[in-house]
Every structure is written in C-alpha cells, then in structure tokens.
Structure 1
Amino acid sequence: MATTTEEIITPPKAPNAFLARYDRIIYGAVGLAAFLILWWWVVAGGFVSDLYLSTPQDTFAAFVDGLADGTLSSEILPSVQRALLGFVIALVAGIGLGILVGSVRIFQKLAEPILLFFRNLSLLALLPVFVVFLGIGEESKVAIVVWACFWPIFVNAVGAVGGVERILLNAARTLGAGRVYIFTRVVLPAAIPAIFPGIRLAAANAFTALVAAELVGGAQGIGIYINNAALRYQTPQMYAGILTLGLIGILVNAVMTAAEWRLTAWQRGLTNK
C-alpha cells in the first residue's frame, strides 16, 4: 500500500513541555517520596526497631524541636566555623601549591610518589597523629579538615595546570605575550574548570572529616551532638543531627555549583552554539 504524503510529513508528537522542563524536579520528588515511604515502612512494619532507626516524622519533629529550643541550632555554628576555616586554608594552600607544582615539570615528577601515597591514605588512620601533635582542641579539628580538603584541591590543581593545551601557550607566545600575561590570562582561566571538581569534593570532605574530628573530643559541634544522642539512645535526635549534616551538604553543594557556574561562564560562551 502506498504511503500518503500526510503520513510522510507528519512529525512525531513532541514530549510534554512541562515534563521536559521539570523532569529532574519531578523525578527527584518521586524518588524522595518513595525513599521516605520505604523508610517509614521499615520501622512501622517492625523490620527494624525504633530503638535503632526512628521514623521520618519523628526525625523531622526532633529536628524542628532541636532548632526551636537551641539544643541542635547551637551546635551548627561551631561546626560550620571549623569546616569553613579548614576549607579556606586548604583552598589557598592547595591551589597555590598545585599551580606551582603543575607549572614546573620537574616538580610534578618529584611530587608524584608523594601524591600517590597521601591521596590514598585513610583519614581515620591519621586521627591519632593529629591528636598526639595538636591535642583534642580546635587546632586538631581544623587541621583534620585542612588535611581532608587539601588533597582533592591540590591534585586537581596540579593536573589542571599541567594539562593546559600547549597550543594555547604557543599561540600566546607567538603573539608576544609575556609570562605574567600567559599565566593570568591563559593558564589560570583554562585550568579553573578542571580545578573546580576538586574544590567541590573538598567542600564535601570538610564536614565528613569534621564529624570524625569532633567525635575525638570537644564541647560543641554536630558530630558531638550526634555522638551524645547515640550514647543516650535518643534515636530521633541522632538522626536529626545526621539530617542537619545532609541539609548543610546540599547548601554547600548549591553554593559551589553557583560559584563554578559564575567563574566558568567564559567556557560556556565558547562551547555553546
């Protein structure tokens, strides 16, 4: 049977515009709802005792009460201050040393075995070392955060600077650009997109390492709050502290994403049609 002209030129049906635009939000909301229902069902069905796992509603109630009465909210600021201080120190040191090592080929070769060793070394194995040298005060907690954040930033910075396309450098030299101009206008802009994954990973590591550091000792902090709640079998409060860490992590990731979007806008301008 011959195919009609109408059948040939009829385009396929376009997908729903609303779903196409908000599919990530919709699927994310469905996935979150399914997770919460499964969480509630595991506890309500008696598969796990509420002594070990609180329901979502009890966790959220403990979270709201902790913020309202100050028992949880008072623990947030000390942890954020430690994490932010350690992250900033690691950011400055990691990018500075990473640029230096990545810019000089001989430094890359000398640093390679050291990077290979320390980047794979467990932070938990080093906790006693920090305690021995710095005690259980603020210095050791910040130092642990610096250590956890430094390596992702440093490794990415070394690779980013060392991996800048030679054709860009040669083109700049051909046009008569000096060393300072090449470094500030060619090397750094080209390296920033490759450095940012390390910065985002370091931001996530900051709170992961901080909780481990706070468990060593101290008076205030989210890690201490979680540990004290666990020791007292205050299960909803314990999971409320964990929920707080997760929400802070989401906020930090959003900030890092916005910063990356802003600082790498020039790259999108080159690649987008």
Structure 2
Amino acid sequence: MATDLRLDARNSAAPESVRDDHVTADKSSLTARRSFVTLFARYDRQLLGAVGIGVFLFLWWLGTETSVVNPKFLSPPQDVYDALVTGLSPGGELRDQVGPSLRRGLTGFLVGLGLGLVVGILVGSIRLLDKLIEPVLLFFRSLSILALFPVFLLFFGIGEQSKIAIVSWAAFWPIFVNTTNAVKGVERILINAARTLGADRFYIFTRVILPAAVPNIFPGIRLGASYAFTALVAAEYLGATEGVGIYIRSSQEAYQIPSMYAGIVILGVIGVTLNLVLAAAERRLTGWQLGLTSR
C-alpha cells in the first residue's frame, strides 16, 4: 500500500510535459494500429492473395530443391522465370507468339459473347422458344468440344476460322446458359409493377428485365472468357504455325521444360488479366446492386 502511494506521488509529481508526451505517444500508437486495421480490411483480398502466391512459389521451389518433385519434369521457379524473361525480351520467341494467341482468343471470345447474349436473351424472353429448342441445346451442350474438332475442321478448314470457331463455341455456352437463366429469373413482381404503371413491352424489356438480369449475366461472361482461353491451346494444335499453344508443344518436344512452363505462365497471366478487366466492368455496371445488397 505504501509503495502504491509513493508511485502515485511520483506520477503526480511528474512534469506536465512528460505526461503529455506519454499521452501523445499512446494516441499515435493507437492511430497507427487503427490505420493498419483499416488498410488491411480494405485490401485484405490483395494482401492475402499476395501471401498465397508467395507460399505457392516457396512450396514449388522447396519441392524441386528437395527433389520431392523431379526437376526434370517440374522446373524450379527461378528457371521458369529466366525462360520467361528471355522469351519476352526483344527478339524472344515467346514474345512473337503472344500476339497471334491474343488475337484468336479475344476474337473467339467476342463472337461467343455476342451470340451467347443474343440467343440467351431470346430464349429467356420467349417461353415457347425456350421449350422448343431446349432438347437441342441440351444435346449440343453435353457434347465434348474435343469430339467436335473434326466437324470444325470440315466446315472451316485448318485455317484461322476453325480455331476462332472452337474458341467461340467454348465461350458461348456459359454465357448463353447464364443469360437465359438471368432473364428467366427476373422477379415477376417487377414486371407486373411496370405493367401496372402503364409501361409497354419495349420499356419493360430495356428498363426492367435487362438491368435486373445484368448482375447474373456477368458470372457467365467471366466463365466464358476462361473457357475461351482454355480451348485456345487445344485449337492451336490443329494446324497452327504460331501461338502460345504451339510454343508450349514445341518446347515440350524439344525438352525445353522451363520454356514450356513459361508459356503456361503466360496463358495464366492473360486469363487473370482478362478476368480482372471483366470484374472491373462488372463492378462498374452493377455497382448499384452492391449498394443495395451490402446493407
């Protein structure tokens, strides 16, 4: 008890400036912690994603370094990085193959996007059409794209048209299915309310159905973009003379394993970049919905 009283006496006898310094330091520390928590809460996805990538690269390096995975079959990340830098440098072989693949992939995706949206909106809007062609669409949707390669070659030959057609086919189905379900899934209460207020069919379709369906259409668009670049590699095997798919296959045949993985990494980067662009467009076009549902 006497010790506590002496400590209190010392604290009370401390200069005012010293106490102010302690209070200021405590406030600064608290402010810094709050700023860190706010920053982490705002960018937690990016920060945790970076940590996940770092852990993946470390495990990759550790697996090859300890020979858990044979380095002849899975090149160490530093070797793949060197092959990537060399291939993308001016005059590098990989750099020359990216352009043709991007052209094919984006062209096929845009064709599949347009067809998927138009056909999906028509089928989702017209009930009779939906019931009429549902068995046909279900049949073609169930077919493997690999089984259709000979058909594409017969109709379009071994040129660019067949490769773009394959990519378009792969991108079409997820976009079509999501668009159809999104249009059919618009709540009837919204449509009935617009009709009660005297809106005509065109107004209801453009101002009620489409805006309500857009948030559910975008996941299909992003999935279609992923399918498009997945099918691109297989499409480039069909008589192509340039492209990342050909680069990957020729590297594997020449047993240049780091270069093979460098091509795979490039395809992944292209897919991730396209997905980020589409996600930004989705946030821009459907931000109003986020504002309504986040409360």
TM-score, scaled relative to structure 1: 0.90
> Cα distance, 1:246 vs. partner?
0.7
Point out the structure with max Rg over C-alpha.
2
Equivalent-residue separation in structure 1 for 2:45 and 2:180 (angstroms) = 34
Residue 259 (structure 2) aligns with: 237
1:107 maps to 2:107: no
Equivalent-residue separation in structure 1 for 2:157 and 2:134 (angstroms) = 31
Q: Give the counterpart letter for 1:180 in structure 2.
A: F
Residue 28 (structure 1) aligns with: 49
Q: Give the counterpart letter for 2:139 in structure 1.
A: F
Among 66, 78, 81, the residue aligned to 1:60: 81
Please say if residues 157 and 191 of structure 1, whose CA atoms lie closer than 8 Å, have aligned partners that are also in contact.
yes
> Cα distance, 1:215 vs. partner?
1.4
Please say if residues 51 and 233 of structure 1, whose CA atoms lie closer than 8 Å, have aligned partners that are also in contact.
no
Residue 96 (structure 1) aligns with: 118
Q: Give the counterpart letter for 2:261 in structure 1.
A: Y
Residue 212 (structure 1) aligns with: 234
> Cα distance, 1:229 vs. partner?
0.3
Q: Give the counterpart letter for 1:95 in structure 2.
A: L
Structure 1's 170 and 269: CA in aligned 2 closer, same or farther, altered over 3 A?
same
Q: After the TM superposition, which of the residue ranges 47-56 and 251-260 deviates more from structure 2? A: 47-56
SS of corresponding position for 1:264: helix
Equivalent-residue separation in structure 1 for 2:287 and 2:81 (angstroms) = 38
Among 269, 277, 282, the residue aligned to 1:247: 269
SS of corresponding position for 1:216: coil
Q: After the TM superposition, which of the residue ranges 123-132 and 217-226 deviates more from structure 2? A: 123-132
Q: Give the counterpart letter for 2:272 in structure 1.
A: I
> Cα distance, 1:79 vs. partner?
0.6
Q: How does 1:1-273 map to 2 (within 5 A)?
A: 16-68=37-89, 69-273=91-295
> Cα distance, 1:135 vs. partner?
2.0
SS of corresponding position for 1:54: coil
Structure 2 stretches lacking a partner, 5+ long: 1-32
Equivalent-residue separation in structure 2 for 1:42 and 1:272 (angstroms) = 42
Please say if residues 152 and 201 of structure 1, whose CA atoms lie closer than 8 Å, have aligned partners that are also in contact.
yes
Equivalent-residue separation in structure 1 for 2:130 and 2:42 (angstroms) = 45
> Cα distance, 1:74 vs. partner?
0.9
Equivalent-residue separation in structure 2 for 1:135 and 1:231 (angstroms) = 25
Equivalent-residue separation in structure 2 for 1:181 and 1:255 (angstroms) = 30
> Cα distance, 1:174 vs. partner?
0.7
> Cα distance, 1:118 vs. partner?
2.3
Q: After the TM superposition, which of the residue ranges 107-116 and 203-212 deviates more from structure 2? A: 107-116
Residues paired across the two proteins, number: 261
Q: Which has the higher contact order (CA 8 A, sep 6+)?
A: 1
Equivalent-residue separation in structure 2 for 1:40 and 1:217 (angstroms) = 36
SS of corresponding position for 1:219: coil
What CA deviation, in whole Å up to 9, does each residue of 1:113-171 have, x standing for no partner? 22322223211221222123222210100000010011111111111111111111111
SS of corresponding position for 2:78: helix
Q: Give the counterpart letter for 2:235 in structure 1.
A: A
Structure 1 stretches lacking a partner, 5+ long: 1-12
Equivalent-residue separation in structure 1 for 2:284 and 2:39 (angstroms) = 27
SS of corresponding position for 1:51: coil
SS of corresponding position for 1:121: coil
